Amino acid sequence: MIDDLGSEKAHKSPQSQKINDFCMTICTVNGSGSATANITLLRAMFHMGIPVSGKNIFPSNIKGLPTWFSIRLSDEGYLGRVAHDDIIVQMNPATFQEDINYDIPGGVIFYADHIDLPIQRDDVVVYPMPVKDLIKAADIPRNLRDYMENMVYVGVVSQMLGIGLEYINKALLQQFEQKPSVAESNFAVVKMAADWAKDNLEKKDRYWVEEREPLEGYMLADGNTAAALGAIYGGFQFCGWYPITPATSLAESLGIYAPKLRKDPETGKNNFAIVQAEDELAAIGMAVGAGWGGIRAMSSTSGPGISLMTEYMSLAYYAEVPLVLWDVQRVGPSTGLPTRTGQGDLNLTYYLGHGDTQQLVIIPSSVNECFEFGWKAFDYADEFQTPVIVLSDLDLGMNLWITKKFDYPDKPIDRGKILWEEDLEKFESDWGRYLDVDGDGIPYRTLMGNKHKKAPYFTRGTGHDEFGNYSEAPDVWLRVMDRIKLKFDNAREKLPKPVYRNIEGAKIGLIGMGSTEPAIMEAQDILNKMGITTDFMRVRALPFSQDVRKFIQAHDRNYVLELNRDGQLHQILVTEYCDLTDRLVSLSYMDGLPLTAKWIVESLSEKEEK
């Protein structure tokens, strides 16, 4: 939910009608080109001023398996997943019966009428769509017919629910920005299907889409694009990456936007480089090399890639090399559910590396925050001279969300403690690569190419002293590792602090992170109506700020809500605050789908009853 998205806009309607408050799932086969149609519907409703969210539930497959796209409309601004469907658009014979059973009583089913299967339900409104006939009647090239079938449901659904065709047209023009003629031919099919529906279908259901004031200051975007743009505005200079769902579109977006945004205006030359590596072992090696060389370096991957990157991340921690690593989480263990979402990499990333390794982890919850953390991550990495992991997930990264417009960074790029020739010349104290001059645990670094006689040093993953010299001495090891720990402790209050949504008088705390935020806020409202008042704290970084302890202490019981089996955030909290364990209750869940408010409400109220 977006808090300031107007619940006051919620339109009081007669009980029998459902306006701008329902979920519609479109069931298709992947590879059929339905994505364009689905996003068109989503965008059109957004342009009508209605808070919408779209979730694509897709298989790990290129063509021929079932795919679902769920659009939720909510005047009140609830964007989390709901587990039921009000409306089903059925284009896929393979899942015909199963999907239809998901529809609630009083719901609606649109279906392609060439699917010759019975609908054994008399508690729903059914609209057949003569998809094939309409396409046949239109003059559409043979190779485009399958694809255009999708535009038929766009037209029929729009007509029956009251989605203005001018908004569909606008959405299509936006989708086919470069090819207005394609937008035009798509729209012709939409129009034809809408006309057919007007003449042949009688409205019997209770669902309506109604226009609202435009959603000023908001837009529709996905987290991976936002992350890439954030990196571009954060001055990224090098990205080494290897394709993996759901992270691929992050690096690919870099490849689309960076050449436009990051050319030197005078020479037309790039001040960045992107290299598709041979695997994640190399992708992270490249990023470590680049970060060490003094350019803003990054990589993006998902769980399996993180596993392969472990050893270099351990080296980067100990050799104190800045870089930014995005983990767009999918579902593990192993290959797991590669196209489903989860929050199962928290433990892995926080402790990524062998021995006494610990990493800085920041966790965005919205598309807007993906942009913000996208640029800030580089400043943190440079400031603390260590990798920063940004923990996103498939739901946030790949789905389109309604989000606030991106804000231009409010502070200049900060490269941290770097010494060039003239800085070294002026440097008053002794300089050693790992010498803590300022007492904050953060030493100064020189970069290759620095011609000052004192500048060069040798970097190694083996034991080293304050000057980078090889050492196995116990006291040296202890000293260096303690200093790195000091640096990490100093990061606690500088990384993004938790954010809160408090309800007056609450004794119960909710703790969550990342993309489950909308479901948690919605659950909070439902619980409130049930008489269970809660405060919500969303943690945004590890290691934790002092504020986290304060919040836990201020509440009798704190439910830690997360999308994984074992309650990993709960585990870390319990480890960090062992004196507060009796105040921490784990509520975690994982089936590959985004968390729902319903699940939170049910499992929390059950616990509260005990």
Partner 1 sequence: MAEQDNTNAIGLTRADYKGERSTLCPGCGHNTISAQILYACYEMDIHPSNIVKFSGIGCSSKSPTYFLSQSFGFNGLHGRMPSLALGAAFADTSMKVLGVSGDGDTASIGLGQFKHLIRRNLPMVYIVENNGVYGLTKGQFSATAEKGLELKYQGVNPFLPIDIAKEALIGNASFVARSFAGDPQQVRSLLKAALSHRGTSVLDIISPCVSFNNREDTLHSYQWGRQHEAPLHDIAFVPTRKSIILDEFKEGETKEVTLHDGSVVVLKKLEKDYDPTDKYQALQMLEEAERNRWLITGLIYVDPGQPALYDYMNLVEEPLNRVPAEKLRPSAEALQKINQSMG
In this chain, which stretch among 55-63, 357-365, 454-462, 549-557 interacts with partner 1, using CB under 8 A?
Answer: 454-462
Q: Interface residues for partner 1 in 266-305 (CB under 8 A)?
A: 267, 269-273, 275, 277-279, 281-297
- Mention every residue, 6+ apart, whose C-beta is less than 8 A from residue 183: 169, 172, 173, 175, 176
Minimum CB distance to partner 1, residue 398 (Å): 15
Closest CB to partner 1 among residues 271, 546: 271
Minimum CB distance to partner 1, residue 7 (Å): 22
Closest CB to partner 1 among residues 267, 429: 267
Closest CB to partner 1 among residues 126, 171: 171
- The 3-class secondary structure across 30-96, one letter per residue, is CCCCHHHHHHHHHHHHHHCCCCEEEEEECCCCCCCCEEEEEEEEECCCCCCECCCEEEEEECCHHHH
In this chain, which stretch among 32-40, 74-82, 85-93, 453-461 interacts with partner 1, using CB under 8 A?
Answer: 453-461
Closest CB to partner 1 among residues 182, 447: 447
Q: Does 423 bind partner 1 (CB under 8 A)?
A: no
Structure tokens at 36: 């364009």
Angle (CA) 22 211 67, round 5°: 40
- What character string, x for contact with partner 1 (CB under 8 A) and - otherwise, covers 537-576? ----------------------------------------
Closest CB to partner 1 among residues 90, 450: 450
Q: How far apart are CA 108 and CA 121, in angstroms?
A: 11
Q: Interface residues for partner 1 in 172-191 (CB under 8 A)?
A: 174, 177
Closest CB to partner 1 among residues 71, 286: 286
Q: Does 461 bind partner 1 (CB under 8 A)?
A: yes
Q: Does 406 bind partner 1 (CB under 8 A)?
A: yes
Q: Does 536 bind partner 1 (CB under 8 A)?
A: no
Minimum CB distance to partner 1, residue 437 (Å): 20
Minimum CB distance to partner 1, residue 242 (Å): 11
Q: Does 450 bind partner 1 (CB under 8 A)?
A: yes
Q: Does 412 bind partner 1 (CB under 8 A)?
A: yes
- Mention every residue, 6+ apart, whose C-beta is less than 8 A from residue 282: 240, 242
- Mention every residue, 6+ apart, whose C-beta is less than 8 A from residue 188: 138
Closest CB to partner 1 among residues 11, 460: 460
Q: How far apart are CA 189 and CA 479, in angstroms?
A: 71
Q: How far apart are CA 255 and CA 244, in angstroms?
A: 15
Q: In this chain, which of 315, 352, 389, 541 binds partner 1, going by CB under 8 A?
A: 315
Q: Interface residues for partner 1 in 31-60 (CB under 8 A)?
A: none
Minimum CB distance to partner 1, residue 293 (Å): 3
Closest CB to partner 1 among residues 278, 356: 278
Angle (CA) 385 388 391, round 5°: 175
Q: How far apart are CA 382 and CA 376, in angstroms?
A: 10
Q: Does 405 bind partner 1 (CB under 8 A)?
A: yes
- Mention every residue, 6+ apart, whose C-beta is less than 8 A from residue 276: 241, 242, 243, 251
- Mention every residue, 6+ apart, whose C-beta is less than 8 A from residue 176: 182, 183, 186
- Is the preceding peptide bond at 333 cis, omega within 30 degrees of 0? yes
Structure tokens at 281: 């072992």
Name residue 364's amino acid: P
Q: How far apart are CA 388 and CA 490, in angstroms?
A: 14
Tell which residue, 292, 302, 310, 299, has the closest CA to residue 274. Answer: 299
Structure tokens at 87: 């409306």
CB burial string 323-359: b at 16+ within 10 A, e below: bbbbbbbbbbeeebbbbbbbbbbbebbbbbbeeebbb
Closest CB to partner 1 among residues 42, 523: 42
Closest CB to partner 1 among residues 142, 408: 408
Q: In this chain, which of 10, 144, 182, 447 binds partner 1, going by CB under 8 A?
A: 447
Closest CB to partner 1 among residues 200, 271: 271
Residues binding partner 1: what is the number (CB under 8 A)?
Answer: 74
Tell which residue, 324, 142, 329, 334, has the closest CA to residue 237. Answer: 324
Minimum CB distance to partner 1, residue 514 (Å): 21
Minimum CB distance to partner 1, residue 408 (Å): 4
Tell which residue, 269, 303, 270, 308, has the closest CA to residue 287. Answer: 308
Q: In this chain, which of 127, 153, 233, 380 binds partner 1, going by CB under 8 A?
A: 233
- What character string, x for contact with partner 1 (CB under 8 A) and - otherwise, covers 201-230? -----------------xxxx-------x-
Q: How far apart are CA 573 and CA 233, in angstroms?
A: 33
Residue 154's SS3 state is helix
Closest CB to partner 1 among residues 188, 281: 281
Minimum CB distance to partner 1, residue 277 (Å): 7
Q: Interface residues for partner 1 in 64-123 (CB under 8 A)?
A: none
